[in-house]
Amino acid sequence: MGLWMRVFALSEATPNPVSLAELVSKLLPGTTCHFGADGNGWFSLEMRPPTGGPILLDRYGVQEEGIRHDLNTWAAWVETCDYCDEAPALMERIIQSQQFITMRRSLDTPDESGVERLCSGICRHLATCLDGIWQSDDEGLSSADGTLLLREF
C-alpha cells in the first residue's frame, strides 16, 4: 500500500465525523480520532493507531486555491494511461470532482496489515458516501467497492 491515498468525490457533502470514528474503531480497534474543521468546510482527521505514527486525512473543496489544479494534474495523468479503456471516463470523473480528500499514513507502521485495512476501508467508505473513486500510490484507481479500475505501472 502506498504512503498516499486520495478520494475524488462528485458529491459536495461533508463526511459524517461520527460515522468515520465508528468505522475507524471497527477497522482498527484502539485507534483514536482527532477531528478539525473550519467555517469554510475544510475538514481534517488525525488517526492514531495503537502502534506507529499517525494517519492524516484532509478534505478540500474544489473552490479552494490550488485544488482545481491538483485535480487537473490527476486527470492529465489518467489521460496518459492509454493501456486502460476506462481512462477517458475516469479522467472525466476526476475533472468533475467537487471535493478532493487526501490521506497520508506514517512510515512508522508496525501493524502494516491493520493500517492497510483501515486506510482502504476509509477510502471505500468515503467513495461510497460521496459518489467517488479512490487512488492508492503504487496500486491505482479503484471504485467505491475496491475494484481496481486503473492499475498504476
Is the pLDDT assigned to residue 48 strictly greater than 80?
yes
Task: Give the residue carrying C-alpha cell 496489515.
Answer: 113
**Position 42 pLDDT exceeds 80:** no
Quick one: which H or E segment has residue 147? none
Q: How many CA atoms lie within 13 A of 77 on its CB side?
A: 14
Q: Cell for 22?
A: 465508528
State how far the Cα of 149 lies from the Cα of 78, in Å rounded to an integer. Answer: 11
The whole-number pLDDT of residue 37 equals: 87
Q: What is the C-alpha separation between 103 and 9, in angstroms, rounded? A: 14
Task: Summarize the confidence of residues 25-44 as an average pLDDT.
Answer: 89
- What tens digit of pLDDT does each residue of 79-111 get? 999 999 999 999 999 999 999 999 999 888 888
Residue 41: is its pLDDT beyond 80?
no
Question: pTM above 0.85?
Answer: yes
d(CA 24, CA 48): 10
- Residue 133 near residue 149, CB atoms below 8 Å: yes
| Grid coordinates of 133 | 473513486
The residues near 87 (Cβ < 8 Å, ≥ 6 apart) are 78, 79, 81, 150
